[in-house]
Amino acid sequence: FGGIEALPDWLGNLSSLRRLYLSGFGKLKSLPHQLQLLTALEDLTMQGFHEIEALPEWLGNLSSLRRLCIRSCKKLMYLPSVDVMRSLSKLKRIDIANCSQLETRCERESGPEWSKISHIPRIYIYILMI
């Protein structure tokens, strides 16, 4: 099962969309560019983007974003820049689960990505231990 390889172009026309759950894009190496047009989006969940290593700087265009949930993104290591993350002034919660590289990089105080999320009121990092 390879999953979906692209989002339809018309997705960017859903300017009033507030909640989006994306899953099954295991082959994509970047987030679909149409997402940056969804400026009313308040809740974004992305799951199973196995090839993405970095979230794009245009994530800052999602000015209404209140919650960002990132799950099962095996290679994800980098969030957008500190300036971009801080520009998301409505972002109140970030959840990171089953993203081992990003989890390590977001460790409180010591992780290289920590400064990008430290201002967010609710940070949930779920580390799977076996």
Sequence-ordered list of residues with C-beta below 8 angstroms from that of 40, at least 6 positions apart, any chain? 15, 16, 17, 18, 64
For residues 119 and 13, the model is more confident at 119
pLDDT in tens, 3-50: 566 677 777 778 899 999 998 888 888 888 889 999 999 999 999 999
CA 20 from chain centre, in angstroms, equals 11
Q: pLDDT band at 1, cuts 50/70/90?
A: very low
Per-residue model confidence (pLDDT) at position 130: 52
Name the residue ranges covered by the structural domains of the chain: 9-126
- DSSP per-residue codes, 34-103: GGGG-TT--EEEEE--TT--B--GGGGG-TT--EEEEES-TT--BPPPHHHHHH-TT--EEEEES-HHHH
Identify the CATH assignment for 9-126 out of 3.80.10.10, 3.20.20.60, 3.30.70.1140, 3.30.720.200: 3.80.10.10
pLDDT in tens, 64-76: 999 999 999 999 9
Assess whether pLDDT exceeds 60 at residue 2. Answer: no
Angle at alpha carbon of residue 18, lines to 13 and 123, rounded to 5°: 130
Per-residue model confidence (pLDDT) at position 127: 72
Residue 28 DSSP SS3: coil
